[in-house]
Amino acid sequence: MLREMAEMTRRINREICIYLGRDGSVLEVVVGRHDRVNLEVWTSRRGLSRLSGVRLIHTHPGGNPSLSEMDEHTLRKLRLDALGALSTEEGRELLCVGYAAREGVKLLGPFPLAGLPHDELLDAIRAADEEVRFEVGRADGAAERAALIGCGPDGGGGESSLRELENLADTAGAETVHRVFQKRPRPDSATYIGSGLAEELAMIYQKLKVDVCIADDEITGAQARNLEAVLGVRVVDRTALILDIFAQRARSREGKLQVELAQLRYRLPRLMGAGTAMSRLGGGIGTRGPGERKLEMDRRLIRRRIFDLEEQMKEVSRQRDSQRQRVKKNEVPVAALVGYTNAGKSTLLNAMCGSDAFAEDKLFATLDPLKRRLSAGEGGEVLLVDTVGFIHKLPHSMISAFRSTLEEAKHADLLVHVVDATSPEYKHQMTVVRDVLEELGAGDKPQIIAFNKADALPSREEIEKPDVPFYFISAKRGIGLQPLADAIREALGALQREVVLEVPFAKGAVLAYLHENGKVLEETYTETGVSVRALLGGDAVKRARALLAGGAGGQSAKP
């Protein structure tokens, strides 16, 4: 067979590949590059801790039988038992065999065709299979080795985005071993970064033993599949990575529902068939009947689950609305801590309220909203809400899935925008937060900006002063927290909110006070007095209630 392969290669001057099973049966014959053949039908039948049971013999047109880097990459990617390279120079045909071992690819040969050591090769393959099992067991639990890719028109902004992507990968538990940004006007529609760069990266990833490639944008299912075919590693995008982090962080029932909903919405358009495994006809109980393919059935089941989750989230939203109404009825003002992820919002909540909310120097340490009471001195109590952090390129689908959580900012009376003052990208991060708040309908809320980590700033003059009240603080060291708390109390005290007060006829001066210090929306006369619906500031509400609780008469109505 080897001599016939060499002869045919000399005739057509093209590479010939033959894939063999361990029983000697021919599984596939390919004319052309061996790295283009799809062996998933065979290799998927065996676990990752074992070799595939497939051997490849291919020709090298010319006289060099040495294994190329692409040969070694194919050997590892497909977990081949062995890969043989056959030189085809007439009269000097030689075979070189490589197989995967724990310390790397081992080579045997080259051997002349007349003297192949068959027993030695088979013994080496069996030993390699045992070594691969041992290696997989040893590496179990180790961090995945990740490579990052990005593209866009702006090289500077792209590098900054890749640094953030590396932080996301670290938060997810991966180790970044390589990253590259390609400056191009728009992503390639087929492979995101272009086939040329993808083929270059395939060689680099093989040497670096990369496990997963992470794209810095949300890519299509076709782009991911095309990249995987060229790179030989699993490909995920920024959205999938963020969802993976969210899944790790979710603790409450609401958080888990939101994560699952976002994941299913992300995966549904990317669900594609994989050979016969997803193309089988299904029938019987639980399906629409004979004639429905497994892929179609999976899509239908996902849509059904999405509908169920949306119904559950509607109930969660109703519960949140009820909680907000109770807070509003008790007239406790609410300030929401908003900001870019890892700006220090949870640390600030703990420092100001004496709470023990989970805080970590990682992205998205907080996923579920937390509410704590802040004693604000003479101004009474304030409810502080810690919200999920925002991030660059936050997908609209994710905003939709997490709307009930993100809308804590929309329903708050005041926003405390926490900014990591030490970040070189703090201006861009502030812009991202403003854009997300606009999308949520909270862009016009009153704001106070807290420049956190100010103790690590070389000079505060480096920070561009905003046109809203701002304070330099250090949540970790407790610097500047009292002035910030006073500012929150003062801002909430000045904000008007709608209240309903029952004013007896005997206290007409209170009615005059309401007209002078607020905006009366409606007056309804009853048997005992006047029911007044008005917009009042927090301090005016307290004063009006004190007047109503005081003695009869109107002289006490003067503030």
Q: Tens of pLDDT along 523-559?
A: 999 888 999 988 887 678 878 888 888 754 444 444 4
Residues with Cβ within 8 Å of 358's Cβ and at least 6 positions away in sequence, in order, are: 346, 365, 366
User: What dihedral do alpha carbons 354, 360, 366, 369 form, nearest 10°?
Assistant: 0
CB 227 within 8 A of CB 202: no
pLDDT at 53: 77
CA 457 to chain centre: 29
pLDDT of residue 33: 59
pLDDT of residue 441: 84
For β-strands 82-87 and 54-60, DSSP reports them as: parallel
Q: Which residues, including other chains, have CB under 8 Å from residue 342's CB and lie 6 or more apart?
A: 167, 361, 362, 363, 364, 365, 389, 420
As a whole number of angstroms, the distance between CA 303 and CA 265 comes to 9
545, burial (CB in 10 Å: exposed 0-12, middle 13-18, buried 19+)? middle
Longest CA–CA span in the chain (Å) reads 121
- Give the class (CATH, top level) of 332-492: alpha beta
| CA angle in degrees (0–180, nearest 5) for 126-130-132 | 115
Query: Which pLDDT value is given to residue 129?
Result: 67
DSSP 68-99: PHHHHHHHHHTT-SEEEEEE--TT--EEEEEE
pLDDT tens profile 1-58: 777 887 788 888 888 888 888 777 887 787 875 554 444 444 444 455 567 778 888 8
Q: What is the structure's pLDDT at 283?
A: 44
pLDDT for residue 214: 93
CA distance 381 to 38: 65
How far, in Å, CA of 150 to CA of 184, rounded?
10
pLDDT at 275: 38
Annotated domain spans of the chain:
2-139, 144-245, 253-326, 332-492, 495-557
All residues at 6 or more sequence positions from 333 whose CB lies less than 8 Å from its CB, including other chains: 382, 383, 413, 414, 492, 495, 497, 538
Closest CA to 265 of 374, 402, 407: 402
Give the 3-state secondary structure of 399-449: HHHCHHHHCHHHHCCEEEEEEECCCCCHHHHHHHHHHHHHHHCCCCCCEEE
Model pLDDT, residue 471: 92
Q: Which two tokens stand for residue 332?
A: 């406790």
Cα dihedral 39/44/45/46 (nearest 10): 110
Position 447 scores a pLDDT of: 92
| Angle in degrees, 0-180, between the axes of helices 481-494 and 538-549, rounded to the nearest 10 | 70
Instruction: Give me the CATH code for the 495-557 domain, please.
Output: 3.30.70.240
What angle, 0 to 180 degrees and rounded to 10, lies between the N-to-C axes of helices 345-353 and 481-494? 90
Predicted pLDDT of residue 274: 43
pLDDT tens for each residue of the chain, 559 residues long:
777 887 788 888 888 888 888 777 887 787 875 554 444 444 444 455 567 778 888 888 777 777 777 777 777 777 777 888 887 777 777 888 887 766 667 777 787 777 767 777 777 777 766 665 544 444 445 678 899 999 888 655 678 888 889 988 988 888 999 999 988 888 898 899 998 899 889 888 877 888 889 999 888 888 888 888 888 788 888 888 888 888 877 777 877 888 888 888 888 877 764 433 344 444 444 444 455 566 677 778 888 988 898 888 888 878 877 777 776 656 678 889 999 988 888 888 888 887 765 555 556 655 566 778 876 555 567 888 888 788 888 776 677 667 766 777 888 888 999 999 998 888 989 999 998 888 888 888 899 999 999 988 888 888 888 888 999 999 889 899 999 988 888 888 777 677 888 899 888 888 888 888 888 889 999 888 999 988 887 678 878 888 888 754 444 444 4
**How far, in Å, CA of 20 to CA of 27, rounded?**
5
- Contact (CB, 8 A) for 390 and 436: yes
How far is 30 from 452, CA to CA, in rounded Å?
Answer: 62
Q: How many residues does the chain have?
A: 559
Question: Among residues 14, 11, 26, which one has the least CA distance to residue 57?
Answer: 26
Which pLDDT score is estimated for 3? 78
Cut 0.75: pTM above it: no
CATH for the stretch 144-245: 3.40.50.11060
| Residue (of 95, 94, 103) closest to 127 by Cα position | 103
Question: What is the assigned CATH class of domain 2-139?
Answer: alpha beta
Collapse the DSSP code of 527 into the 3-class scheme (helix H, G, I; strand E, B; otherwise coil) and give the result: coil
Contact partners, residue 413, CB within 8 Å, separation at least 6: 333, 334, 335, 445, 446, 492, 495, 497
Other CB atoms within a 10 A radius of the CB of residue 144 amount to 16
Q: What is the pLDDT of residue 178?
A: 93
C-alpha to C-alpha distance for 235 and 248, rounded to whole angstroms: 20
CA distance 255 to 369: 9
Domains 2-139 and 332-492 share a fold: no
